[in-house]
Amino acid sequence: MAQKRSTVAHLHNIPLFAECSIPELRLIVGNSTERELRAGTTLMEQGQTGREAYVVLKGTATIKRNGKKIATAHAGSVIGELSLLDRGPRTATVVADTDITLLVVSEKALRAAIDNIPAISHKLLKGLALRVRELDRAHYG
């Protein structure tokens, strides 16, 4: 129970989930699973279809697009959310730099949470919009 509380608190500090209430986050966490992977493990490959997103709880991973490093994911990073939402191909390859602990949010888990509390979808959309604005600002100024 303490670990789930910690994971809920962790999610609450991530911009994508920041608008969600504690009960909504509990529902998302309750429908998700934790996964621990060793350093060097590939989490996802660019171009593959994805049906889950990962929240980094501990550790780091390198994000590469077309073989070039574009970012480092660390605790609090969300990876793969676009494919979770649109079932499209992964836009990057992600490899664990260190041993890593992830919260795996599957499409099924997200849909179950939204079916139970439809307002979650609006809050997640707001979180995604904020992220798009940040990327736009970083790219275009």
Indicate which CATH number applies to the domain containing 98.
Answer: 2.60.120.10
- What type of residue sits at position 96? A
> What pLDDT score does 87 carry?
82
Q: Does position 2 have pLDDT exceeding 50, yes or no?
A: no
Same domain, 57 and 90: yes
Please tell me the total count of domains within the chain. 2
What proportion of the chain, given as a percentage, has pLDDT over 90?
A: 39
Instruction: Give the predicted TM-score (pTM) of the model.
Output: 0.83
Same domain, 101 and 124: no
Give 41-85 pLDDT, tens digit per residue: 999 999 999 888 899 999 999 999 999 999 999 998 889 888 877
Same domain, 20 and 49: no
Closest CA to 75 of 97, 98, 96, 55: 55
Quote the CA–CA distance of 141 and 132 in Å, as a whole number.
13
Helix (H, G, I), strand (E, B), or coil: what is residue 83? Answer: helix
> What pLDDT score does 44 carry?
95
Same domain, 100 and 135: no
Tell me the two tokens of residue 41: 């493990």
> What pLDDT score does 130 carry?
79
Same domain, 89 and 47: yes
SS (H, E, C) 89-140: ECCCEEEECCCEEEEEEEHHHHHHHHHHCCHHHHHHHHHHHHHHHHHHHHHH
Same domain, 70 and 85: yes
What's the pLDDT band for 97 if we cut at 50, 70, 90? very high
Which residue range(s) make up the domain with 124?
A: 1-31+116-141
Same domain, 68 and 10: no
> What pLDDT score does 1 carry?
44
Same domain, 13 and 65: no
